[in-house]
Amino acid sequence: MTAATHSSLFPPVPDSADAVLEGLDPEQRAVATALRGPVCVLAGAGTGKTRAITHRIAYGVRAGILQPSSVLAVTFTNRAAGEMRGRLRQLGAQGVQARTFHSAALRQLQFFWPKAIGGSLPRLVDRKIQLVADAAAACRIRLDRGELRDVTAEIEWSKVTRTVPADYPLAAVKAGREAPRDPAEIAQLYSVYEDLKRDRSVIDFEDVLLLTVGILQDRHDIAEQVRAQYQHFVVDEYQDVSPLQQRLLELWLGDRDSLCVVGDASQTIYSFTGATPDHLLDFRTRHPGATVVKLVRDYRSTPQVVRLANGLLAQASGRAADHRLELVSQRPAGPEPVYTEFTDEPAEAEGAARRIRELVGAGVPAAEIAVLFRTNAQSETYEQALADAGVPYQLRGAERFFDRPEVRKAGVALRAAARFGGNDALLDDTVDLPSQVRAVLSGEGWTTEPPAGSGAVRERWESLAALVNLAHDVAVGRPAATLADFVAELDERAGAQHAPTVQGVTLASLHSAKGLEWDVVFLVGVAEGMMPITYAKTDEQIEEERRLLYVGVTRARERLHVSWSLSRTPGGRPGRRPSRFLDGLRPGSTGTVGRAGNAGGGGVERGFTGGPAAAPRRTQRTPARCRVCGRTLTDAGEMKLMRCDGCPSDMDEGLYERLREWRADQARLSGQPAFCVFTDRTLMAIAESAPGDDRELARIPGVGMRKLNRYGADVLAICAGQHPEGEEKGD
C-alpha cells in the first residue's frame, strides 16, 4: 500500500530551481510555473497532482518568488499533509506550512483566542457521540447505537453546511437527506447538544472552523494579521471542500487571488459529509482570469484499467460528469480486468482469498494487494477467508498504526536505545541503522521469520516488521542516518498518521481507499443493492455511487478483479444481479464493445495500431498543439479536434447534421445510446476533416479499427455526399 504517487522515499534534493522542474511532463510543468494569479488544476486519478503542486511550491520557493513562511498548503487528511511536507523537504522547500483545514484553523484559534475572546480556549472533545447521547437523554428521546451515530452525522453535516438547529428540517429536505429520525427531533437534539457544549465549556471538531471563521469575520485586525502571515494558498482535493471550509478559505485570502486549487469532480465521494464539487466547478466563474491546467496523463494504471475507468464515467450524468477528465494511460499494456460471478458471499470471499494466495505465491507482495468493498460490514467475511487461506492482512480504518500497543512499546524501546545506546549490549555488534533497529525490536518480539498462522501474534509481528522495513528505506535514502534520526522520523510520521507499509493484504472500504494505490485490487460485492447501495435513491446519490466505483477502479496499477455474488448466504435465492454500472463494460453485457470503445476514446487507445493483441507503443510525451493558434492542448476533447474550443472551426455544418441523423439511426438499430456509435466530438472531427478514404478516417481520434470496420463505409459515403447503403454490420 502506498500513497497515490509511486516514488522513492528519499530522492536527492534538486540543486537549483530549474532542477525542480526536471522530470515533469508538459502539463505538470505548466502547473509548477504558474505562480501568479488564481490557478485551477483539474487532475485525474493517477496523473501526479501531488507531484505537480509540491513542485510548484518548491519551484516558487527555490526561485525566490515565494517566501516559504508565507505559503499555506491545505488538504484533508493528516497523512496527505505529512506526505506533502516530506516531499517539500526533499525538494529543498523547508518552512512551508502543509496542514489540514482543521489543523491550520486550530493553530490560529489557539493563538488568537486570548486576544479575541479572553481566557484559554475551551477543551476540544475527541468524540461527540457521548454528548449527543446526553442530549438525547435530556430530551427524553431513546436512540440505539446506530441512531446515535446517524444523528451525530446529521449534526456534523449541519455545522459544516452552516445550518443552525432551527433551519435543519428545511435544509435537510432541500438537500435530499434521509433523516434517521423526525427532522424536528434532530433539530431539538442539535439545539440541546449545542447548549450542553456551552454549559460544559467544550468545543467540537466543527467548532474549530466555525469559531475561526467567526473571529476572522468580526475582528478585521486579526484577519489582517493572518493575511500578512499567509499570502499564497494551495488547496488539494478541492472537490471535497464544504461550505464552511470555503468560507474560511475566503477569509484567509481576503481580496487577493494568490490561490491554487487542485481537484477532480469525478472523485467527489463525500457529499454526505457536506463536501461539494461546486466550488471547483465554479472556480472559473469566480475567477474569470484563472489559469486552468488539466492533468490527464495517467502514470498509475495500465491502459486496460484506465479504459474501464473512462467507461464508467462515459455513462455518467450530472454536472460533475459534464466536467469529467478522460484519462490517457502512460503505462505499457497489462491484463484485462477479470469479472467473476459467485453463488454467494462466502464463496466470493473464498474465491478472492484463493486467488490472492496464488498471487502471493507467485511473488506479488501481500502489501501490494487490496480487497475493497462498499461497507465496513463486508470486511468480516474476507478477514475469515484470508485467515483460513493463511494470508496476512491488515484493516485500513481500524486501529491506527501508531496507536497499536506493540508500536507504542517499540517506540519507547527505540527512543531509549537512541538516548543510551552506547551502554546497550544489544547494539554492540550493529553496524548501521537497519541492524540497530532489528537488534532493538528483537527484544520486543520481532524475528527474522514470521510466526506460523494468523491472528494477534502475526499482526504484532507485521507491525514490528513494518518498522524494520522503514529503517531500511530510511538508510537507503540517508546512509548516515542514526537511531535518533529514525526516532525523529517515527515521531513526525506519528503526528501525521503516516504509517509505514505493513506486509499484509489491505482490507478497506472504498471511501477509506481514496488517495491510495496497489498493484492488484479486488473490487468485491459489485452487485445491485451494494453498488449502488440500496439507500441511494436520487440521481445525485446514484451518480456519487458511480464515482465511488470509479475511485475503486483507479486504485489498481496493474491487475483488477471485479466480482459479485448472486445471493448473500449459501443456498439463498439467487436474486442479485451485477451492478448496473458494469452494464456495457463487462463482457457479455449489453453494449459492451460500443461503450468500452467509446469511453477509451482517442486518449486511451492512442498508440495502438491493431486489435487488442497488438503491442502498444509508448504514448508520446510531445504535447498536441492547436492547428489554428498553436497552443498546447491538454483537454481530451480539444485534442480530438486538434484545435482549441475557442478557435474558429471549418466544420461543414450540413455534413455534421447528416452524420448526426445517421448516428441516431445506428443507435436505434443497436439499442445503444448515440454516443456509443460516435461521440459529438468525433462527429465534429469527421465533419471538419471530411475524410476521403479509410486511412484518413482511421487517423481521426475516436474512430479506431473496430469502428472503422463497422461504420467506415457508411461514414465515407456520407462524407462523399452519398447515401449509406449498408445496414449495421455485425461484430
Helix (H, G, I), strand (E, B) or coil at 280: helix
Q: Which of 20, 297, 70, 179 is CA-nearest to residue 535?
A: 179
Summarize the annotated binding site for ATP as residue ranges: 43-50
Q: DSSP state, 730?
A: P
The residue count of the chain comes to 731
Grid cell locating 531: 453498488
* 266 contact partners, CB below 8 Å, separation of at least 6: 44, 45, 313, 316, 320, 321, 323, 324, 325, 547, 550
DSSP string covering 179-195, please?
-SS-HHHHHHHHHHHHH
Judged by phi (left if over 0) then psi (alpha if -120 to 50, else beta), residue 308 lies in: alpha
CA 496 to chain CA mean position, Å:
18
Helix axes 145-160, 205-218, angle to 10 degrees: 20
DSSP string across 84-120: HHHHHHHTT-TT-EEEEHHHHHHHHHHHHHHHHT-SP
Angle ∠(157,159,162) on CA atoms, nearest 5: 110
CA dist 496 and 622 (Å) reads: 38
Q: Quote the distance between the C-alpha of residue 234 and its chain's center.
A: 17
685: CB partners within 8 A, 6+ apart: 640, 641, 642, 700, 701, 702
**Angstrom distance (rounded) from CA 367 to CA 520:** 10
In contact, 393 and 386? CB cutoff 8 Å: yes
Which segments are annotated as binding site? Answer: 43-50
| 367: its cell numbers | 502489501
DSSP run (H or E) holding 507? strand 505-509
On the question of a cis peptide bond just before residue 122, with omega within 30 degrees of 0, the verdict is no
